[in-house]
Structure formats: structure tokens, C-alpha cells
């Protein structure tokens, strides 16, 4: 009786290991497991107790892995992963004309998507202006975009945004503060024909006033004849 010999198995392997992948078919009655290939490769690295420049990335502190860039079979010379700071930050584009009063260390209020408000602080103010038409930047309508500066804000309590990886939030900057001043609704101001403003008492008398800071529908006023507790007429 004639017995046919068993067919020789075909094994797919990579060559060289830990570099760009090129597939070839080889004959091997007993294929080496992948661990042997890795052991053979590592054995070629001389143990000197030192590391060459470029083999280890040294960072200033603890970081968070934000993404993996390398896939199995990619060239060994490519990027492996990307990292970001563990401190969550908010990038705000501010009109360049409005960015003057904003400084590093300024306190801000952050409104989260669930309408909660948390305190924050300006960590940096960009020095490069984006847009404005000088570099040919345009908005979707085809018009030159408004020049802006990027302002980076960090929450004072990182635990307040622990569950957020990416979100749209609202940031309120307090660029100027007035204390112990008289304020009235903006609707109480009356423009005078000769210029300036006045407020009107319930009896119809007009009192000339000087305006100061406007904020959230209120305006700072000062002038002769106005004092705290006075009642004035305002638009409904």
C-alpha cells in the first residue's frame, strides 16, 4: 500500500520583526511562535545600562494618553501615541479688539452644558492673531473672518468637570468691576436733546446723570440729586 506524505504546512510571518510589515510565505514544519521572534530581536540589543537620545521621551509631569497613532504593522519610525495634560482646559476665541482687558490669572465663570456654573481662571492669553483677512482666512460666507486671540481657561475645581471629555461651554470674563456705585436699569436712561442722559422721577422731573459701567441690563450712574433708594421711571 502506498501512503502519500503529509503536505508541508504554510506559515505567514513578518520580516523584519518590529518594523514595517512585508508578508512572505515560508516552508517550516515547526513554525516559531511570535515570542521567539521578539526574543531574537531583543537579544541583538546590547545591554549597556544607558539609553541613546531619542529612545525615551521625558515629559515635565504626568500626562494623559489622548490617542493611539500606531497600528500593528506600521513603520517603527512613526509616532506611537499622543498625550495631553491631565488638567482639563477650555480654548476660547476672543475678538482681538476685546482681548485687551483679559490677563493671565483673571477669574472667570464657566457655564457647563447642564447649566451649572463653576469658577475658573485664565491660564494664558494667545499672542498670535487669527483671521482678519490678512492671511486669507474667510468664514463660510466668503467674507474675511474677525481677528481673534485664543484664551485658555482652566476650571478652579477639576472635579466639577470630571465627567466631561469634550463639550461646549460658556465662559464669562469679568474685565472691570465697580463697587459701592448707584445703578439703574438701562431702560431708565433718557437721551437729552443737548447731549448726555437723564433719569426721570415719578413726578416727571428730569435729573441729569453721568453713565459709567454697563453690565447685565444695568448701568452705573452718578450726578447731583440722585441717591440710593430714589425711584425712577423705566421702560417696561
Q: How far apart are CA 41 and CA 34, in angstroms?
A: 11
Select from 104, 108, 105, 106 the least CA-distant residue to 117.
Answer: 108
Q: Which residues pair with 199 in a beta bridge?
A: 207
What pLDDT sits at residue 190? 93
What pLDDT sits at residue 60? 78
What pLDDT sits at residue 143? 62
Residues 6+ apart with CB under 8 A from 100: none
Q: Which three cell numbers stand for residue 152?
A: 485658555
Low pLDDT (below 50) residues in the chain: 1-43, 136
Q: State pTM to two decimals.
A: 0.50
Residues 6+ apart with CB under 8 A from 198: 189, 190, 192, 206, 207, 208, 209
What pLDDT sits at residue 40? 44
What pLDDT sits at residue 13? 42
CA torsion 225-228-230-233 (nearest 10°) is 100
What pLDDT sits at residue 196? 92
What pLDDT sits at residue 236? 64
CA torsion 154-158-163-168 (nearest 10°) is -20
Question: Strand ranges (DSSP E) for 102-181?
Answer: 107-111, 117-125, 148-155, 170-173
Amino acid at each position: 500500500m502506498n501512503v502519500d506524505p503529509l503536505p508541508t504546512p504554510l506559515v505567514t510571518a513578518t520580516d523584519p520583526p518590529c518594523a514595517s510589515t512585508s508578508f512572505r510565505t515560508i516552508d517550516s514544519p515547526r513554525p516559531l511562535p511570535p515570542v521567539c521572534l521578539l526574543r531574537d530581536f531583543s537579544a541583538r540589543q546590547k545591554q549597556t545600562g544607558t539609553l541613546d537620545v531619542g529612545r525615551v521621551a521625558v515629559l515635565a509631569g504626568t500626562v494623559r494618553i489622548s490617542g493611539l497613532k500606531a497600528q500593528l504593522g506600521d513603520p517603527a519610525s512613526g509616532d506611537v501615541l499622543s498625550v495631553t495634560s491631565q488638567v482639563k482646559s477650555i480654548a476660547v476665541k476672543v475678538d482681538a479688539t476685546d482681548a485687551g482687558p483679559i490677563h493671565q490669572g483673571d477669574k472667570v465663570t464657566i457655564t457647563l452644558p447642564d447649566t451649572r456654573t463653576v469658577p475658573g481662571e485664565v491660564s494664558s492669553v494667545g499672542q498670535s492673531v487669527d483671521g482678519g483677512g490678512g492671511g486669507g482666512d474667510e468664514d463660510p460666507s466668503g467674507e474675511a473672518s474677525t481677528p481673534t486671540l485664543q484664551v485658555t481657561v482652566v476650571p478652579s475645581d477639576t472635579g466639577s468637570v470630571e465627567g466631561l471629555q469634550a463639550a461646549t461651554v460658556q465662559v464669562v470674563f469679568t474685565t472691570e468691576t465697580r463697587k459701592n456705585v448707584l445703578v439703574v436699569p438701562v431702560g431708565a436712561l433718557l437721551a437729552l436733546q443737548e447731549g448726555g442722559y437723564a433719569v426721570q422721577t415719578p413726578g416727571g422731573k428730569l435729573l441729569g446723570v453721568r453713565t459709567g459701567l454697563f453690565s447685565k441690563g444695568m448701568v452705573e450712574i452718578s450726578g447731583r440729586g440722585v441717591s440710593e433708594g430714589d425711584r425712577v421711571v423705566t421702560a417696561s
